[in-house]
Structure 1
Amino acid sequence: MDLLADYSALQIGAALLATFGSAFVRGLTGFGMAILLVPVLALALSPVEAVLVANGLSLMIGLTEAKRLVRGAEKSAWTLSAILLLVTPFGLWALSVTTPNIARLVIALIALSAFAAILLPRRAATPPGRATTGGVGIVSGLMTGYAGMPGPPVVPYYVGRDIPRETAKASMMLVFTFAGLAGVISAVALGIFEISLGALSLLLFPAVLFGNGVGHHASGRVSDLIWRSFVGLILGGAAIAALTRLL
Structure 2
Amino acid sequence: MALLAGYSVAAIVAALLAAFGSAFVRGLTGFGMAILLVPVLALALTPVDAVLLTNFLSVFIGVSEIRRLLRGAEKSAWAIIALVAVTTPVGLYLLSLTSPAIARVVIALIALSAFLAILLPRLKALEHHPATTGGVGVLSGLMTGYAGMPGPPVVPYYVGRDIPRETAKASMLLIFTCASTTGLASGTILGLLDWRLALLALLLFPAVLLGNWLGNKASGSIEDRTWRICVGVVLGGAALAALWKAFG
Is the shorter-chain TM-score for this pair beyond 0.5, marking a shared fold?
yes
Is the 8 Å Cα contact of residues 27 and 214 (structure 1) preserved in structure 2?
yes
Is the 8 Å Cα contact of residues 69 and 170 (structure 1) preserved in structure 2?
yes
Is residue 135 of structure 1 aligned with residue 138 of structure 2? no
Q: Which residue of 2 aligns with 1:55?
A: 55
Taking the aligned partners of 1:63 and 1:157, their CA distance within structure 2 comes to 23
User: Over residues 42-82 of structure 1, what are the superposed CA-to-partner deviations in whole Å (9 max), with x where a residue is unaligned?
Assistant: 12222111101111111111111111100110001011111
Q: Kindly state the Cα deviation for residue 124 of structure 1 after the two structures are TM-superposed.
A: 5.0
Q: Which residue of 1 aligns with 2:174?
A: 174
User: Over residues 148-187 of structure 1, what are the superposed CA-to-partner deviations in whole Å (9 max), with x where a residue is unaligned?
Assistant: 0000001111111000000000000000000110011011
- Please state whether the residue corresponding to 1:44 is helix, strand or coil: coil
User: Over residues 12-39 of structure 1, what are the superposed CA-to-partner deviations in whole Å (9 max), with x where a residue is unaligned?
Assistant: 1111111111100100011111111111
1:23-102 map, 5 Å = 23-102=23-102
**Identical-residue share of aligned pairs (%):** 67
Is the 8 Å Cα contact of residues 140 and 152 (structure 2) preserved in structure 1?
yes
Range 153-162 or range 190-199, more displaced: 190-199
Q: How many residues end up aligned between the 2 structures? A: 247
Paired amino acid for 2:77: A
Q: Structure 1 177/7 Cα, relative in aligned 2: closer, same or farther at 3 Å?
A: same
Q: Which residue of 2 aligns with 1:158?
A: 158
CA RMSD of aligned residues (A): 1.6
Taking the aligned partners of 2:246 and 2:181, their CA distance within structure 1 comes to 29
Taking the aligned partners of 1:32 and 1:108, their CA distance within structure 2 comes to 14
Q: Kindly state the Cα deviation for residue 119 of structure 1 after the two structures are TM-superposed.
A: 2.2
Q: Structure 1 125/208 Cα, relative in aligned 2: closer, same or farther at 3 Å?
A: farther
Is the 8 Å Cα contact of residues 19 and 207 (structure 2) preserved in structure 1?
yes
Q: Kindly state the Cα deviation for residue 3 of structure 1 after the two structures are TM-superposed.
A: 2.2
Paired amino acid for 1:176: F
Q: Kindly state the Cα deviation for residue 5 of structure 1 after the two structures are TM-superposed.
A: 1.9
Paired amino acid for 2:170: A
- Please state whether the residue corresponding to 2:31 is helix, strand or coil: coil
Taking the aligned partners of 1:156 and 1:231, their CA distance within structure 2 comes to 10
Range 43-52 or range 223-232, more displaced: 223-232
Q: Which residue of 1 aligns with 2:236?
A: 236
- Please state whether the residue corresponding to 2:42 is helix, strand or coil: helix
Taking the aligned partners of 1:176 and 1:110, their CA distance within structure 2 comes to 16
User: Over residues 188-219 of structure 1, what are the superposed CA-to-partner deviations in whole Å (9 max), with x where a residue is unaligned?
Assistant: 11111112211111111111110000000010
Q: With structure 2 as the length reference, what TM-score do the two structures score?
A: 0.95
Range 93-102 or range 236-245, more displaced: 236-245
Is the 8 Å Cα contact of residues 125 and 163 (structure 1) preserved in structure 2?
no
Q: Which residue of 2 aligns with 1:21?
A: 21
Q: Kindly state the Cα deviation for residue 127 of structure 1 after the two structures are TM-superposed.
A: 6.2
Q: With structure 1 as the length reference, what TM-score do the two structures score?
A: 0.95
State the 4+ residue runs in structure 1 displaced beyond 3 angstroms: 120-127
- Please state whether the residue corresponding to 1:43 is helix, strand or coil: coil
Q: Which residue of 1 aligns with 2:194?
A: 194
Q: Structure 1 222/125 Cα, relative in aligned 2: closer, same or farther at 3 Å?
A: farther
Is the 8 Å Cα contact of residues 126 and 132 (structure 2) preserved in structure 1?
no
Unaligned stretches of 5+ in structure 1? none
Taking the aligned partners of 2:130 and 2:70, their CA distance within structure 1 comes to 21
Taking the aligned partners of 1:7 and 1:77, their CA distance within structure 2 comes to 38
Taking the aligned partners of 2:68 and 2:84, their CA distance within structure 1 comes to 21
Is the 8 Å Cα contact of residues 21 and 211 (structure 1) preserved in structure 2?
yes
Q: Which residue of 2 aligns with 1:146?
A: 146
